[in-house]
Amino acid sequence: MPATVVLGSQWGDEGKGKLVDRIAEKASWVARFQGGNNAGHTVVLGERVLKFHLLPSGITREDCALVLGDGMVVDPWVLDRELNDWVENGGDEPRGKRIFISSRAHIILPYHTYLDGLDKKIGTTGRGIGPAYADKINRIGLRFAELDEADVEIMATRQNAALAAAGCDQRVSAEELSENLSWIQERFSNCICDTGILLDNALKLGERIVLEGAQGCLLDIDQGTYPYVTSSVTSRGNAGHGAGIHPGHIDTVIGITKAYITRVGNGAMPTELYDADGEHMGSVGHEFGTTTGRPRRCGWFDLVVMRHAQRVNGFTEIALTKLDVLGGLDLLKICVGYELDGKEIHEMPATASALARCKPIYIEMPGFAQLSTAEWLGVASKCNADNIGFKGLPTPAQQYIKTLEGLIGVTISSVGVGPDRDATIDRV
């Protein structure tokens, strides 16, 4: 069977973890293919709220194998804490059984977090992601494959020189590095392997694979709102490559988008709201970063962003999330274009300065009533049980979905109306 890719189509935080958790029920493998613990995926199972940064969201399905792929940068200490938390809260021990770390993935070391902590411009998570990717591109990074080949003396000298040049007071020692690498081998040696071969063999056996993206298209290092982006390729083109399989295996590409839009960190967001509507989205949607806890900036749905994401990724279907958050707003707006320096445009400008000058052009639609979380869950349950799909939603909500679908030009296959796994309505 082919592979399914789940990608963020905005600035991240769209709800990828919830969707991956749902579709992993019918998958044998879930693989991350880029990023590191700068990602934050949340899965809600009734009263239980699970937050993952490195662990693929398929961990909730005990028959599902997990891969940290070739294109990732992995902080072993964060991974160890996540695994320990998972086990201590009643989960199975996946080490040596169903979690596999690519031997080609790069390792985030304390030095990388020291450097990343100096950032004052981009608004990074400070988790060492950018410096680890920089070492990868400079061909001086450390991969899991080379753990027992590392020259810690050379590494310490080079890292301390870089720290000094960056104005950082922290230093590392060869002895400390040696201890760190020994610890990593001790904790993860039974997980490290050529994961691309595992996934390729699984596909040959007809098993379903889900490739789980992190961040979103607008944070892609090439296609995003540079320089306010992450340090990896977050889009479809890297899904197979970062997992170690060829793109011909992929037949389904699901783009996740909120019914509005949010952003964490610095950089322009043309539809950002500074009024009661924005406050409503932030409070009702509990818009705080899973990784950093920072408040997310909120704004109206941006078709220009979505058009760009669709061109880059070629989504075969759209999963719309957090429609419930818009409940209680009398008027809904959709940005269909920008005004830039007196001219109307409908595509993303390439520079951050141009994007900052863009003013949104809106169409307006009527809103719908606000319901409680339990009421929305009841709506979703009834829609699915009665096999009526979106027809069980309030009429203005149906109109909003239909309008978005027409503007995007891609079928909306599901609509999320709450954080719970079951608060999702499937199209019929």
What are the catalytic residues?
Answer: 13, 41
Report the 3 state secondary structure along 47-64. Answer: CEEEEECCCCHHHHCCCC
Rg (alpha carbons) of the chain, rounded to whole number? 22
What are the DSSP calls for 35-51, one per residue?
B-TT--EEEEETTEEEE
DSSP 8-state code for residue 254: E
| C-alpha torsion angle, residues 154, 160, 165, 166 (rounded to 10) | 120
Q: What angle do CA 408, 16, 56 make, to 5 degrees?
A: 150
Query: Which pair of structure tokens corresponds to residue 11?
Result: 């600035």
Nearest-angstrom CA–CA distance, 266 and 257: 20
Query: Which pair of structure tokens corresponds to residue 16?
Result: 């990828």
Nearest-angstrom CA–CA distance, 89 and 127: 25
The pairing of beta strand 48-52 with beta strand 41-45: antiparallel
Helices (H), 120-275: 129-137, 152-165, 174-188, 195-204, 239-243
The Cβ-side half-sphere exposure at 84, using a 13 Å CA radius, reads 8
How many other CB atoms are found less than 10 A from the CB of residue 42? 18
Nearest-angstrom CA–CA distance, 214 and 33: 8
Nearest-angstrom CA–CA distance, 347 and 338: 8
